[in-house]
A and B are shown apart, each in its own frame.
Chain A
Amino acid sequence: MTTPFYVSPEQIMKDRAEYARKGISRGRSVAVIFYDKGIVFVGENPSRALHKISEIYDRLAFAAAGRYNEYEQLRIAGVRHADMRGYVYDRRDVTGRALANTYAQALGTMFSEGAGKPYEVELAVAEVGEAAADDQGYRITFDGQVTDIRGFQVLGGAADAVTQVLESSYEENAALETVLNAAVDALGRDGTEPRTLAPNQLEVAVLERTRTQARKFRRISENALARLLGVAGDSAGEGEGDSEDGAKNGGGDAGQTGTTNPPAAKSVPADDGDVLGAVDDILGEDGTPEES
């Protein structure tokens, strides 16, 4: 007879955490940054329709990295939660803190009690205030931990590498152009070789306190983004930019050819692997516990 299989709770949690981290690390990063007029969300995402960054409510927005179907489910739950509260109480009673707590509870439960696998997601909830001092942001990890965002926060696979770059360039109350350029530069340095991200590879949205409408969320279109970044505007120009980028990097890394972004292809395929969840290569295992 075989003896009953025993696994210590520590080991179970460790394994679950490792599993979730691995899943998240496949995704491309998203940065949440406070600037002088609000909060900007910048993510690498070539898809026009499948978003990583979304409006939740008047002053609330959501950003996520990891597995698309899982964070999409959480996003919809967040919209329902916020709309429900706003309908039953008042629009002013929908707060980022409450939403972050709800996500933390849900993710914490799924991580520690769920019978299935833990969610491979990392979320950020941000709320723009009347003044810069009132802006709030929270990062919620796969196990339900919540941390306050101070200045900026990077989610996803290469968060550590991108954070390091952003740390050196971030300044408080900077203008949107400054913050965006720094973010795009930082997001391109997630691998061994720096890449230049073109506007059509990026998803950018802001929570802008100066908007006159109650709903402060605004997506920044490709053309507007090109203007803000100070690069060639229309889509033809961006196509060129893309191949230029590939050629430039290709020169530095002769071993890799045939893809538009060779260094990136090492970690993430050039197509939208994150969104489709079909990536098999794994980026640097930041903070993953060693297998015992």
Chain B
Amino acid sequence: MESNADWGSRGGLPQAFLTPGISSFSEFLKGFAPEYLPSGRPLPGGLGSASAAGDIAPHGTTIVSIAFPGGVLLAGDRRATMGNFIAQRDIEKVFPADEFSAVGIAGSAGLAVEVVRLFQLELEHYEKIEGVTLSTDGKANRLATMIRGNLAMAMQGLAVVPLFAGYDEETGQGRIFSYDVTGGMYEEHDFYSVGSGSMFARGALKKLFRPDFTAEDAAVAAVQALYDAADDDSATGGPDLFRKIFPVVAVVTEDGYRRLPDEELSTLVESIMDARRVVPDGPRSPLR
């Protein structure tokens, strides 16, 4: 596609840069250089088989999120698959979106990473232009718009399904938003999970979740849920103790985004693995 983004060669500022009115980076890009947007690229003709795309592009799988008093947690396993082939063992699917929010992505890894990069930039750009940050709902809505633009590719098997979690500075609470491939946005309460292992993770979280969780309790529950997802879903990877590859666990509170360091996680993961050695199916919740 022919680019009208000739800003590199001239050195000056093209008219589009000097035109007032847009605080959104992706909207600006749509007018200035649409070929850089995931939705601005031409698609191969006809609707291909949805499963074929899964075999040519790596897919990320399970993401879990748990809200706790004063914050929210987002965690993801580390496996990317291409069909029945493990494409990567230490892929990252959980990212900071800005200081007070995080985004985890299931689906086509290449597109997902691109959407995350654009979303991070979108929030930062708005903050710099306007001098204030977007509200949590504003951030969640922007992400919905960006996913909506990807529908044509999702129909061809390159779906991106994010999970957005943020600390709402106005209410002092952690909030979770889920999406579908059409850009539908749904606010979730307490906990949620997306990706191919999500039904198993959600089952585990349903039994483990308590409303009075601390951040550490939430981290334990998230790792337990990811373990259960990996146990039953071949596309989700479990903790790799030999290679020291642990899930990515991020906590967002009033202190901002914090990814738990590997030292903290290794203790946590090993204690869970020790317990599973005795009870392989994990902690039991009371029957009544």
Contact of A76 with B129 in the complex, beta carbons under 8 Å:
yes
Roughly how many angstroms separate A49 CA and B124 CA in the complex, as a whole number? Answer: 18
User: B128 near A: Cβ within 8 Å?
Assistant: yes
Count class of interface residues, chain B: 20 to 34
Partner of A83, one of B11, B121, B131: B121
Stretch at the interface among A5-13, A51-59, A156-164: A51-59
User: A102 near B: Cβ within 8 Å?
Assistant: yes
| Chain B residues with CB below 8 A from A241, complex form | none
Stretch at the interface among B17-25, B155-163, B209-217, B241-249: B17-25
On whether A88 and B20 interact (CB within 8 A), knowing A56-B128, A79-B128, A109-B12, the answer reads no
| A170-215, CB < 8 A from B | 215
| Chain B residues with CB below 8 A from A3, complex form | none
Q: In the complex, how many angstroms separate the beta carbon of B190 from the nearest chain A beta carbon?
A: 30
Partner of B13, one of A51, A83, A105: A105
User: A223 near B: Cβ within 8 Å?
Assistant: no
Contact of A77 with B18 in the complex, beta carbons under 8 Å:
yes
Which secondary structure dominates chain B's binding surface? helix
Roughly how many angstroms separate A84 CA and B273 CA in the complex, as a whole number? Answer: 45
Roughly how many angstroms separate A54 CA and B128 CA in the complex, as a whole number? Answer: 8
- 1/0 per residue B92-124: CB within 8 Å of A? 000000000000000000000000011001001
User: B206 near A: Cβ within 8 Å?
Assistant: no
Partner of A102, one of B5, B13, B36, B125: B13
- 1/0 per residue A104-143: CB within 8 Å of B? 0110010000000000000000000000000000000000
Contact of B17 with A83 in the complex, beta carbons under 8 Å:
no
Roughly how many angstroms separate A86 CA and B12 CA in the complex, as a whole number? Answer: 17
Q: In the complex, how many angstroms separate the beta carbon of A112 from the nearest chain B beta carbon?
A: 12
A-B contact pairs, 30 of them (CB 8 A): A49-B131, A51-B131, A56-B128, A74-B13, A76-B17, A76-B20, A76-B129, A77-B13, A79-B125, A79-B129, A80-B28, A81-B13, A83-B25, A83-B124, A83-B125, A83-B128, A84-B5, A84-B7, A84-B29, A84-B33, A87-B29, A87-B117, A88-B36, A102-B13, A105-B10, A105-B11, A105-B12, A105-B13, A106-B18, A109-B12
| Chain B residues with CB below 8 A from A87, complex form | 25, 29, 36, 117-118, 121
Roughly how many angstroms separate A178 CA and B20 CA in the complex, as a whole number? Answer: 39
| A15-68, CB < 8 A from B | 49, 51, 54-56
| Chain A residues with CB below 8 A from B128, complex form | 54-56, 79, 83
